[in-house]
Amino acid sequence: MLIGPQISAADAALAERLQALRAAIAAAAAASGRTEESITLVAVSKGHDERAIRAAAALGVRDFGESYLQEGLSKCAALADLPLTWHFIGRIQANKTRAIAEHFDWVHGIDRLKIAERLSAQRSATRPALQVCIHVNIASEPSKAGIPAAQLPQLAAQLGRLPRLQLRGLMCILPEGRGTASNRRDFAALRALLERLRAQGAALDSLSMGMSGDFREAIEEGATLVRIGTALFGPRAPAPGPAGRMDSAPAAPSAAGLG
């Protein structure tokens, strides 16, 4: 009797979480009059090893997000045989821009012209333009990254003139532990900012918003990219450094809880 390949318990759990997550994304998209295909799942793989990423890729996930540069570069190299799209979703230090420009496809957190200028100058002309989003501090948290909404038109115009970047849209991170109504208000506010820029002629099509705890509200308010780690991979290993927290739900919800 032939015995087929055996799937590990970890891979089976990943497949179950992904199935439930896709169903939840599809339901949220339908609630906003869109299709599941209009939403890109960016699997936040920071703190998870190459094996987990390969398992997710085998299930059809193609977009992965990393916050810590050295960890991300190691994975980009180890998984170069796979057709993956790599998103840098952490805060960017000026001395790290060259490596990001050379190895990543998307950058979600631009909040300074200086960083954008360095990324543009250091992006190879042989590669497609680096896809970027502006990080807006939509909740007006004094200690958090991102630009105030009032500064957005100027920065968007400046980025639009840089030759090796393609400004795609806006990104936000909301405070944890708030209610659904507050989340919806801020997600809707970010969407309104995008629509205002589009009305002024900017060719933008992306809203990077929503994580494991609030992706449903984000999708229903217009998200096109959701950054989800814990709900897909389960709890991650301790962070290697203090920078770049982008998806930090405290525990992995059950698959049933995603429906």
32-61 pLDDT, tens digit each: 999 999 999 999 999 999 999 999 999 999
Residue boundaries of the structural domains of the chain:
24-234
Low-confidence ranges of the chain (pLDDT < 50): 1, 4, 242-259
Q: Considering the entire predicted model, what is its pTM?
A: 0.89
Taking the domain 24-234, which CATH number applies?
A: 3.20.20.10
Query: Which amino acid makes up residue 95?
Result: N
